[in-house]
Amino acid sequence: MSVERDYDDLARIDRTHVSLYKDQGVYNDEMERIFYRSWIYVAHESEIPNPGDYKTTFMGDVPVIVTRGQNNEINVVINRCTHRGVAVCPLEKGNTPSFVCKYHGWEFGMDGELLAVSMPRGYNEGELDFKSLGLVAAKKVESYRGIIFASLLSVPDISLDEKLRGVKEYIDMYMDFSPVGEIIVGNSGVNKHYYHANWKIQTEGSVEGYHAPVTHSTAFDIMVRKMGMPPNYQGYGTKGLDGGYGNNLLEVYSLPDEAVYKRWPAEYIDLMIEKHGKERAMHVLRHRFNLVIFPNLAILEYQFRVIRPMGVDKTEVRMYHTMLKDAPDDINTRRVREHEFFYSPAAFGGPDDYAMFDRAGQGMKADMVPWILFNRGIKSEEVDEHGRRYGGHTQETQQRAPYFEYRRLMKIGGQS
């Protein structure tokens, strides 16, 4: 029996109800209304560069295969044989001309089309309809700057262009750290974390300015002493931004030009200026930010972070390290070293975050203390020239932002 919940009341402007992090019924609604019917990140095109390449991933609880067909088209199909329910692809990634279910030999093309079955003479005429028995394909698949999003069961009520409108400038900036505007995702390593609490804690936590000097005092100490980070974290004047449709951003820093020259070698800056022009190159190099594309992707520093709900109280987080195409080797090596400094399971930052997320899973067992608070800075929030709400980076505009889209999707189910 389904219970209709009042999501406007459970996800308020300045607080969320603890049941959103614990209740199986809420989780089921999230799967149905967000993860199966709105834009979900599935892969970056650089992960499947050649025809026949595929990777398997999950959209909510559903196993899917992201493929590149012989014509270079990208497909997203459900990894479930239409005959008897068996996953047709048992690997995480690879290259193949087709997918053959090894239970009864049904063969599917890269776009999911049913090509052949074993021992077809056992079917009488009218018992096997090839046309309707392909792997179920996502209703919509689109990319922006190589980032592939899909919607599984219905066409979202907003275009991908509209979904990303408020944060495209930051996606573009992230790509343009490469002199040729292209990145390579995951080839240089993937951190595979999990924690014992709800997925939304990582969505909120990927753009957390407030916790940084508390949880990460040991890492920040080193970043200030040895990595050229500014010491005055509170007073630095960077923003937390609501980019619309749940997307949001934490500005980590916005450097003056002399700091850019201190942070990056002249060879790299010159190459960037040569390829992008001086104004664009310096604009890109001044910035560092954490960007959440609601619900399951965060693009930050040197990683694509993919958030996968695994039930109401367990979450997998994968950090796909990113490299800059055609950047000098020493720049990419620095991206490797600085990433592993903060984010590996033995690093100076990430393990402390996951300790906090596990502790959140513990504290939120207390149903009778119902509210999770996001009201920090709500009275001083301002609106920028693009109509985006923003506050200070240690305030909670970024944590409030996802719930505008959450309320919208949980009410309409994301259907047009």
Partner 1 sequence: MSANAIEQMTRAEAEDFLFAEACLLDQGEVNAWRQLFTDDALYWLPYSRDANVDPTKHVSIIYDDMEMLDERIKRLQSGDCHAQIPGSRTQHSVNNVRVKTVDGVVIIDSYLTLHEYRANRQDRFYPLQTMAANCEHKLVKQGGEWKMASKKVVLLNCDGEIYDLSFLI
CB nearer partner 1, residue 192 or residue 379: 192
CB nearer partner 1, residue 273 or residue 336: 336
CB nearer partner 1, residue 155 or residue 214: 214
CB nearer partner 1, residue 362 or residue 380: 362
Number of residues that bind partner 1 (CB under 8 A): 36
List the one residue from 19, 344, 375, 415 that touches partner 1 (CB under 8 A). 344
SS (H, E, C) 88-117: CCCCCEEECCCEECCCCCCEECCCCCEEEC
**Residue 29: which residues within 8 A CB-CB, separation 6 or more?**
5, 410
Tell me if 415 contacts partner 1 by CB under 8 A.
no
CB nearer partner 1, residue 228 or residue 256: 228
Alpha carbons 252 and 339: distance in angstroms, whole number: 15
Minimum distance from residue 208 beta carbon to partner 1 (Å): 14
Helix (H, G, I), strand (E, B) or coil at 415: strand
Minimum distance from residue 146 beta carbon to partner 1 (Å): 20
Please name the amino acid found at residue 25. Answer: G
CB nearer partner 1, residue 10 or residue 323: 323
CB nearer partner 1, residue 14 or residue 358: 358
Minimum distance from residue 154 beta carbon to partner 1 (Å): 32
**Residue 223: which residues within 8 A CB-CB, separation 6 or more?**
229
Tell me if 336 contacts partner 1 by CB under 8 A.
yes
Alpha carbons 174 and 288: distance in angstroms, whole number: 9
Report the b/e string of 71-87 with b at 16+ CB within 10 A.
eeebbbbbbbbbbeeeb
CA angle 413, 249, 290 (to 5 degrees): 115
**Residue 324: which residues within 8 A CB-CB, separation 6 or more?**
177, 178, 179, 182, 183, 184, 331, 332, 335
Tell me if 169 contacts partner 1 by CB under 8 A.
no
CB nearer partner 1, residue 255 or residue 312: 312
Region 39-98 residues binding partner 1, contact defined as CB under 8 A: none
Report the b/e string of 290-328 with b at 16+ CB within 10 A.
bbbbbbbbbbbbbbbbbbbbeebbebbbbbbbbbbeebe
Minimum distance from residue 321 beta carbon to partner 1 (Å): 5
Region 350-389 residues binding partner 1, contact defined as CB under 8 A: 351-352, 354-356, 358-359, 362
- By the 10 Å C-beta count (0-12 exposed, 13-18 middle, 19+ buried), 165 is classed as middle
Pairing of strands 247-254, 287-293: antiparallel
Minimum distance from residue 245 beta carbon to partner 1 (Å): 30
DSSP symbols for 322-353: EEETT--HHHHHHHHHHHHHHHSTTSSSHHHH
Tell me if 408 contacts partner 1 by CB under 8 A.
no
List the one residue from 314, 316, 413, 415 that touches partner 1 (CB under 8 A). 316
Q: What phi and psi, each to the nearest 5 degrees, are found at residue 35?
A: -75, -20
Which pair of structure tokens corresponds to residue 264? 């990056």
List the one residue from 337, 370, 383, 386 that touches partner 1 (CB under 8 A). 337
CB nearer partner 1, residue 164 or residue 219: 219
Tell me if 329 contacts partner 1 by CB under 8 A.
yes
Minimum distance from residue 336 beta carbon to partner 1 (Å): 5
Q: What is the DSSP letter of 231?
A: S
Minimum distance from residue 350 beta carbon to partner 1 (Å): 8
CA dihedral sign, ordered 184, 186, 187, 191? positive
Contact 44, 186 (CB under 8 A): yes
Minimum distance from residue 407 beta carbon to partner 1 (Å): 32
Site string for partner 1, 183-222 (x = CB under 8 A): -----xxxxxxx--------------------x-xxx--x
Alpha carbons 89 and 188: distance in angstroms, whole number: 24
Per CB under 8 A, which region of 50-58, 119-127, 144-152, 339-347 contacts partner 1?
339-347
Site string for partner 1, 218-257 (x = CB under 8 A): xx--x---x-------------------------------
CB nearer partner 1, residue 27 or residue 357: 357
Please name the amino acid found at residue 222. Answer: I
Residues of the shown chain interacting with partner 1 in the complex, contacts defined by CB under 8 A: 188-194, 215, 217-219, 222, 226, 316, 321, 323, 329, 332-333, 336-337, 339-341, 344-346, 348, 351-352, 354-356, 358-359, 362
